[in-house]
Amino acid sequence: MTEKLRQLLRRRSHFISLNIKLTAIILIAAGLAIGIYAVSHIFEDWAGQKFFNDTQIKTRLVDDRYKTLTDYVKKNDVKGSDAKALQDWIDSERYTQIVVYNGEKATFTSGLSMDKNGQVSVDSQNLDQGGQFGSSGSNVPKVKIITNQTAKTFKPDLYNRVVRFSDGWYYVYINVNNEQGWYRLMDVISVIVAIGVFFVIILSYNKWVLRRIFSVSDDVRLISEGELDHSMPADAKDEIGDLVTSVEIMRQSLLEKMQSEQAAKDANTELITSMSHDIRTPLTSLIGYLDIIAGGKYKSQEEFEKYIASCKDKAFQLKGLSDKLFNYFLVFGDEEETREFEPMDGGILFRQMIGEHIMELERYGYTVNTQYTIPDQTMIRVEIDGLMRVFDNLFSNMMKYASTDFPIEIKASLIQGKIKLIFQNHIVTEARAVESTKIGVKTCRKICEDHHAAFRAMEEERIYTTEILWPTMPKAEAARVEKQEQVDELVEKIEAQAGNAAPREEQRSPILTVDSGDRTPAPDEDAEPGAPDDDTV
């Protein structure tokens, strides 16, 4: 898995569900709505006190009402007990309360009630809503209760005055509450604004969610149409974000798979083209030599043997190319197969394999300088067949291209917990064949990568150098492997001792040998003598 896919998977952490987000949005919207409603009420009270209950404004309004009442009484000859006429006047004067009192009882009230102490209420609900009427700070003053005994000491004030009606003088209480209209208007506006803010927040959240869904839908449509290079941007960590991450992981996987398939296709096409050229060249020469031999165009037995040797050389060259092609497909064709890596002593294994190939090089006249410092008990995990292919390719190339005029340098050492192998040789001026496909190098690199080893090949000033950096096992793991090997050896010894004791037991107990039969399979009558089995390599 690539690092980008790992990052996409990490985006799934800290998941927050859309349900939780919606609940939080609703709570936030409700809190803001309540807050706006509370602030509007604070503003409503402040504005009411400042613009409606100010002393000057209240004085002007009450004086105006007393004047209109006096004019109305004179004009219509209204009696103090004429409730209908007084009600008509009240209907024409909005937000006005009046109490008409004759010294014994209230002859008319406009929706007001009054107790024996003169405390005024509207529809049996105390207007002050906290505190005594007429007390300090009250918006509703107290009606002065005037009797025959207190009439001489009566002193008019802003609200309580004496008005002459057609049937005599009456004590009158008038108050103007224009702020009631303001309060009603602000109550309606506050509710509308609070509800509006609540729904605007909820709808904005829904719009954001829908916009994300439509965006994901558009991205998926583009990807389904084949635009795999179209990446999906990182989204929030919720159900939609999880969907985006899943689609992006799918897109990355498809893209990597297609790129891998295309790279393999291009590599195979290039390989086939190059191999066709490399095979055609020696094959053409081989056909030419065979035509000369078949036509008897050679002049001497020596020339005949020369052509035969050339044919043999070209045939081996073709065999070498076919072997390399087989190894290439053997390595690159089984990527889905699980490789079995065995724990081995790298110090012993590499010494043995390098030593065998050095002996072969020396038989062909090469001089080899070796520096081997890998200690024993340096444990590695390796697939033996794959490692043998690597060494076969490396030393085969040396015998093809290395010059015998210069020694071949081989160095093997342990550096920072890794085995470092260096192979270095001078390239012969005229090589017997040119490996334009580089199949051997590709095969070695692929095998090393499967072992998590680094492989590097380079050429500089006709000196070819190959470096391999092979990982070793951690000490703790190597100790466990060594202990397991000791246990296995002990088990083998016990089994061997048990196997040696079995014949003696059979001699003492012949009953056990009855009807045992011969377990050796009968030879195949159709098989030729000395012919290997089909499974023999």
Domain ranges of the chain: 53-177, 239-331, 340-473, 478-506
Residue 13 vs residues 213, 236, 377, 389: alpha-carbon distances, Å: 21, 11, 44, 45
The DSSP code for 372 is: E
Q: Parallel, antiparallel, or unpaired for β 368-372 and 408-415?
A: parallel
Helix (H, G, I), strand (E, B) or coil at 137: coil
Q: Which residues pair with 120 in a beta bridge?
A: 114
pLDDT at 530: 36
Torsion, Cα of 302, 303, 309, 313 (10° steps): 150
**Beta-strand runs (E) in 159-242:** 160-165, 168-176
Classify domain 340-473 by CATH number: 3.30.565.10
DSSP 484-535: HHHHHHHHHHHHHHHHHHHHHHHHH-GGGGTT----SPPPPTTSPTTPPPTT
β-pair partners for 468: 421, 455
- Helix, coil or strand: residue 97: strand
Contact 407, 367 (CB under 8 A): yes
Give the type of residue at 253.
S
Q: How many CA atoms lie within 13 A of 111 on its CB side?
A: 13
Give me the pLDDT at residue 362, please: 87
- Go through the chain and tell me how many residues it has: 537
Query: Cβ distance 424 to 409 under 8 Å?
Result: yes
**pTM of the entire predicted model:** 0.46
What's the pLDDT at 52?
80
Residue 165, strand partner residues:
168
pLDDT of residue 354: 92
- Tell the CATH topology of 239-331: Helix Hairpins (1.10.287)
pLDDT in single tens digits along all 537 residues of the chain: 455 556 555 655 567 888 898 999 999 999 999 999 999 989 988 888 888 878 888 899 999 999 999 999 999 999 988 999 999 999 988 888 899 988 778 889 886 655 555 555 544 333 333 222 333 333 456 666 655 555 567 788 888 899 999 988 898 999 888 888 888 899 999 999 999 999 999 999 999 999 988 988 888 888 888 888 888 877 677 888 888 888 888 888 888 888 888 887 887 777 677 667 567 767 877 888 788 888 887 888 888 888 888 888 778 878 877 776 776 666 665 554 556 788 888 899 999 989 988 988 888 889 999 999 999 888 898 988 888 888 888 888 888 888 888 999 999 999 988 999 999 999 887 654 454 457 778 778 888 988 889 999 998 888 999 999 999 988 777 777 777 777 777 777 787 777 666 555 544 444 333 343 443 344 443 333 333 333 332
Strands (E) located in 333-478: 342-345, 368-372, 379-382, 408-415, 418-426, 454-460, 463-471
Those residues with Cβ within 8 angstroms of residue 124's Cβ, 6 or more apart along the chain or in another chain: 113
The contacts found for 85-91 with CB under 8 angstroms, 24 or more apart, are 86/110
Kind and range of the H or E run holding 27 = helix 18-51
- The residue assigned the tokens 């093809």 is 400
Angle at 32 between CA 26 and CA 33, to 5 degrees: 85
pLDDT of residue 128: 33
Amino acid at 82: D
Q: Which position has the token pair 């107990």?
A: 509
In Å, what is the CA distance from 160 to each residue of 49, 101, 126, 175, 431? 22, 10, 19, 9, 130
